[in-house]
Amino acid sequence: MADLHELTALALWQELQSGRVSPRELASHYLERIERLNPQLGAFVTVTPERALERADEVAATVPRTATLWGLPSGDKDLWMRAGVPTGFGSRAMTGFVPDASDEIVETLDAAGAVSLGKTNAPEFGLPAYTESLAAPPARNPWNQELGSGGSSGGAAVAVASGMLPFAPGSDGGGSVRIPAAACGLVGLKPSRGLVPAGSGIASLGGLVVDGPLARTTADAALLLDGMIARVGGRIDHHYTLRAPYDDDGPFLGTAVRGEGRFQLGVMTTSAWDDAYEIVIAPEARAALDAAVEAFTAMGHGMEETALTPDETYAPAFRILWQAGAARIPVEGDALELVEPLTSWLIARGREIGARELGDALAALTAYERSFIRQLASFDAVLTPALAMTPRPVGWYDQEDGEHNFEQQVQYTPFTSMLNVTGLPAIVLPIAQTADGLPMGVQLIGRPGGERTLLSLAAQLERRVRWDLRRPPVW
């Protein structure tokens, strides 16, 4: 039998169900890998081995085996609170904070039978698209440790790509699942707004932030998504979302395993930022897109080039929303001296924004959502580059000039935030590698509630490309 970390999360679940492996044995295996690999990669900021082994025994003794994630190791993003475990939010201002209660997404994962091994690295308050805070070592890319992992779910991506976890949950407010998935050669799924009740986006400013899975395979991503949804009586619980219930055809895992259907796809290289910044798509990103187009065409899917209508309202409105979100960070007085320059700039700008200015920005983004969905309505899904550049070096971002930093993030990740604004599902897939062996991905954008189409397309592409067989040098 292969080493446990060589197996997919789905295969590990089958081993657990058969009794050939126990939750404690599986947790111990991954804890050993974390002890060996984490010092050089920075995937975890806190590891909780004793709690993890106790939890593994608890799962084995008390949690029904029918639980979706029964006995599978996972990690909590360090933006999420777990009672009794230090939660740093990637910030020196939160050093020593130990919450008394857990966030709902943490409780949901526990109820699904997952075993948390600790807290995965995140940038300060999840604001940047890279994971290089002053509170912890940077999350380094397992494919080349001189490069960053993206963010803000950078630690989660590093843990999965290096085999420290079989999969990991993340959160995505502007690309924070998809960016690190693309940088680290993983599948990363941003669900539709409202699909995951514990991280639906409904409660976040502008409805931007949703929770989603990072995994090595499409099926593993679907399995974790099913665990994050926490169905009630076999159905998705939309009791406290603001959207109509989804047509629920059962677990998403079945869709991902079958990978069926032929679809009409758009191909797009325009983004919401084209009018505000110079967006240049690197040859490596273009090559990945071309490889995906060629593969989908060969599989019989319809392909048609499309482009977004320019909209000069998006960039200033999104900037206001990003800054206004930072204004709500609970750091005051002397504690402000402990936050990083970018965060300080964002907080200061955000707290200058008036109610009318914020209201106008929200109205502009709502109009953009309607326009975007209408423009792409003729396609089952739309294909874009995942990122405009290859993974960025650690230290590449300007840490002092907030305006320049924002521009750098946009130029690296122009295709992600518009899906948070529109609430649409999107999945990143690791289609290609550069001459230096770096992963390059593409993004598929779905219709509202279109996760099943995305998972079907992803499964078909995975069977053709077999990215699940690729391993970074640290493996």
Instruction: In whole angstroms, give the CA distance from residue 457 to residue 257.
Output: 11
Quick check: helix, strand or coil at residue 282?
Answer: coil
Q: Annotated catalytic residue: which of 102, 149, 176, 417? A: 176
Asked if residue 214 lies in contact with residue 153, where contact means CB atoms within 8 angstroms, the answer is yes
Q: Annotated catalytic residue: which of 74, 91, 152, 456? A: 152
- Residue 69, domain member (yes or no): yes
For the chain, how many helices (H) and strands (E)?
A: 15, 13
CA torsion 319-189-269-208 (nearest 10°) is -20
For residue 215, CA distances in Å to 209, 224, 273, 277 come to: 19, 8, 28, 32
Q: Is position 133 annotated as part of the catalytic site?
A: no
Asked if residue 225 lies in contact with residue 69, where contact means CB atoms within 8 angstroms, the answer is no
Please tell me what DSSP assigns to residue 144. Answer: E
Spatial CB neighbours of 466, under 8 Å, sequence gap ≥ 6: none
- 73-77 vs 210-215, strand pairing mode: unpaired
The two tokens of residue 116 are: 């948390």
CA torsion 361-362-364-367 (nearest 10°) is 170
Domain, as residue range, for 200: 4-469
- Residue 474, domain member (yes or no): no
Q: Is position 152 annotated as part of the catalytic site?
A: yes
Quick check: helix, strand or coil at residue 446?
Answer: strand
Instruction: In whole angstroms, give the CA distance from residue 244 to residue 27.
Output: 39
Instruction: In whole angstroms, give the CA distance from residue 375 to residue 280.
Output: 23
- Residue 475, domain member (yes or no): no
Instruction: In whole angstroms, give the CA distance from residue 31 to residue 29.
Output: 6
Q: Is position 176 annotated as part of the catalytic site?
A: yes
CATH number of 376's domain? 3.90.1300.10
Cis bond upstream, residue 152 (ω within 30): yes
pTM of full prediction above 0.95 = yes
Helix (H) or strand (E) holding 12: helix 9-18
φ, ψ of residue 309 to 5 degrees: the values are: -70, 130
Radius of gyration of the chain (CA): 21
Quick check: helix, strand or coil at residue 4?
Answer: helix
Nearest to 149 by CA among 214, 72, 91: 214
Helix (H) or strand (E) holding 350: helix 341-350
Instruction: In whole angstroms, give the CA distance from residue 54 to residue 432.
Output: 40
pLDDT tens digits in sequence order for the chain, 475 residues long: 579 999 999 999 999 999 999 999 999 999 999 999 999 999 999 999 999 999 999 999 999 999 999 999 999 999 999 999 999 999 999 999 999 999 999 999 999 999 999 999 999 999 999 999 999 999 999 999 999 999 999 999 999 999 999 999 999 999 999 999 999 999 999 999 999 999 877 678 999 999 999 999 999 999 999 999 987 666 776 554 444 445 567 899 999 999 999 999 999 999 999 999 999 999 999 999 999 999 999 999 999 999 999 999 999 999 999 999 999 999 999 999 999 999 999 999 999 999 999 999 999 999 999 999 999 999 999 999 999 999 999 999 999 999 999 999 999 999 999 999 999 999 999 999 999 999 999 999 999 999 999 999 999 999 999 999 999 999 9
Asked if residue 431 lies in contact with residue 416, where contact means CB atoms within 8 angstroms, the answer is no
Count how many domains the chain has: 1
Q: Annotated catalytic residue: which of 77, 116, 153, 192? A: 77
